[in-house]
């Protein structure tokens, strides 16, 4: 499962957010069909561009609480002092993607910047040949990443 974490300035359009997602997917060699969810900070829950993008792509929108962003941000790759001062995490996009994916999520692409929007991709499970993610059952019946 691929999750697109989004960071953006207030009022960023759906087109700009989609462009950032497209750039991150291209960088990772994936298609939009691989995307399962878009994640963003709960503080951005009222941003129409984020909601419109998730709706247009037919994926779930996950709004991540600040505490979860901060915890996941420690696992990110990008360190922006400006973003840290404004949002309390080193990269909003990376933290959102990782937080939405849970503790087993790993970054596929670090933050990709396109205009006023950023996108980072996290993966939960293993990628298949079609660019989608899958999970397998362990010997004890539980899921393994």
What is the tens place of the pLDDT at every residue in 74-116? 887 777 777 667 777 768 899 999 999 999 999 999 999 999 9
Q: List the domains of the chain with CATH numbers.
A: 8-120 (3.30.420.180)
> Model pTM greater than 0.85?
no
d(CA 144, CA 136): 6
**How many alpha carbons lie under 13 Å from residue 55 in its C-beta half-sphere?**
8
């Amino acid at each position: 499962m691929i999750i697109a974490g989004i960071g953006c300035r207030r009022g960023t359009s759906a087109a700009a957010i989609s462009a950032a997602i497209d750039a991150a997917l291209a960088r990772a060699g994936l298609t939009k069909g691989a995307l399962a969810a878009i994640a963003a900070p709960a503080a951005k829950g009222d941003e129409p561009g984020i909601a419109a993008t998730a709706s247009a792509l037919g994926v779930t929108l996950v709004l991540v609480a600040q505490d979860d962003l901060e915890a996941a941000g420690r696992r990110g790759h990008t360190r922006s002092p400006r973003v840290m001062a404004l949002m309390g995490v080193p990269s909003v996009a990376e933290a959102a993607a990782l937080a939405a994916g849970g503790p087993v999520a790993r970054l596929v692409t670090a933050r990709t910047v396109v205009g006023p929007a950023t996108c980072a991709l996290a993966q939960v499970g293993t990628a298949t040949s079609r660019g989608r993610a899958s999970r397998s059952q362990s010997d004890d019946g539980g899921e393994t990443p």
